[in-house]
Structure 1
Amino acid sequence: MKKFEVNTAEATQAIGERLGALVTAGDVILLDGDLGAGKTTFTKGLALGLGIKRNIKSPTFTIIREYQTGRLPLYHMDVYRLEDGSGDELGLEEYFNGDGVSVVEWSQFVADELPANYMKLSFKRDDADLDSTKRTITITAVGDHFNQVLEQLS
């Protein structure tokens, strides 16, 4: 487990960009944290690290956005609206076992669908001021592959 303290959106994005250069096909990255804590900002950086130039938008209402123009495809998922656990109907396993990188926001709502190995990032506001940009990003690696990726990320 590693912790990163960030104070700007650019710093959050930079961590994502570094990780984007390290991920491989089939990798699953889970993003958890409050609304507005930096999950989509991180994903924008990850996309840059994959060579994706398109604007990354939150998939809140579409649930899954696909970006195919980088080194690997990026599947950006926001499963917040699946609180009832209907993730199996989306075919998440096909994405997780596919040719791209899957980023899942609010992963607790599809916990039963998640693979055994993944990287989880938890975004936490460091104070109660909603205008503050201070965050702690805690990264946990599950599985040998992700432990190696986390070591390289430092």
Structure 2
Amino acid sequence: MQKTIEIKDQAGTEDLAARLAAVAVKGDVILMHGTLGMGKSAFCRAYIRALANNPHEEVPSPTFTLVQIYDLEPVPVWHFDLYRLSDPEEVHELDIEDAFSEAVSLIEWPDRLEYLTPETRLDIYIEPGPTPDARQIKLVAQGDEWVKRLAALDGTAA
């Protein structure tokens, strides 16, 4: 199942991230697809801030650390940026399997995972919209649980 949502600006991205954070459960894997500057990190920051119930939560980019861990309630979040990795074997060093089982995993540049990509996941594709601030966000559910949650999410179905 997939839904495509037209977002007018960053506030729309933040709203979508908050709606997804509201249904977060342990074991969620969310893969963020898009070119540089499309808003993958902005989406992840908004998701983490919404889950923390703190719009001022400090959410640094994991570009250089590769992973940032947030010990939040009701579920921790591991935010990965795999851009600098060249081999999926390097992902093991980040304890990603622990994140898959114990937390929500937000993963930027998921193509680096290759064979480690979980079957059950939500793929989010962010593409340019009709104006500089607009985005077209495609949500693709992989697995029955994500299909149910995505069906309940309001927005424009593709």
Q: TM-score, normalised by structure 1?
A: 0.90
Report the equivalent of 1:93.
Answer: 97
Report the equivalent of 1:104.
Answer: 107
List alignment gaps of at least 5 residues for structure 2.
none
Q: Which whole-Å deviations, capped at 9, do the CAs of 1:8-53 have from their partners, x for residues lacking one?
A: 1111011000000011001000001011101111112212331253
Q: Which whole-Å deviations, capped at 9, do the CAs of 1:40-89 have from their partners, x for residues lacking one?
A: 11112212331253222221111000111332111100001112322123
Q: TM-score, normalised by structure 2?
A: 0.88
* Structure 1, 27-36 or 44-53: larger mean CA deviation: 44-53
Q: Which whole-Å deviations, capped at 9, do the CAs of 1:84-129 have from their partners, x for residues lacking one?
A: 322123221111111x2110000001122121100000011136x8
Tell me how many residue pairs correspond in the alignment: 150
Report the equivalent of 1:12.
Answer: 13
Report the equivalent of 1:139.
Answer: 139
What one-letter code is carried by the residue in structure 1 that aligns with 2:59? Answer: I
Q: Is the 8 A contact 2:31 2:108 kept in 1?
A: yes
Deviation of residue 153 (structure 1)? Answer: 1.6
* Cα RMSD, aligned residues only: 1.5
What one-letter code is carried by the residue in structure 2 that aligns with 1:49? Answer: A
Asked if residue 148 in structure 1 is aligned to residue 124 in structure 2, the reply is: no
Report the equivalent of 1:57.
Answer: 60
Runs (4+) off by over 6 Å: none
What one-letter code is carried by the residue in structure 2 that aligns with 1:153? Answer: L
User: Counterpart of 1:150 in 2: which secondary structure?
Assistant: helix
Report the equivalent of 1:34.
Answer: 35
- Percent of aligned positions that are identical: 31
Q: Cα gap change, 1:138/1:38 in structure 2, threshold over 3 Å: closer, same or farther?
A: same
Q: Is the 8 A contact 2:67 2:94 kept in 1?
A: no
Partners of 2:73 and 2:11 in 1: CA distance = 20
Deviation of residue 139 (structure 1)? Answer: 0.4
What one-letter code is carried by the residue in structure 2 that aligns with 1:24? Answer: V
User: Counterpart of 2:52 in 1: which secondary structure?
Assistant: coil
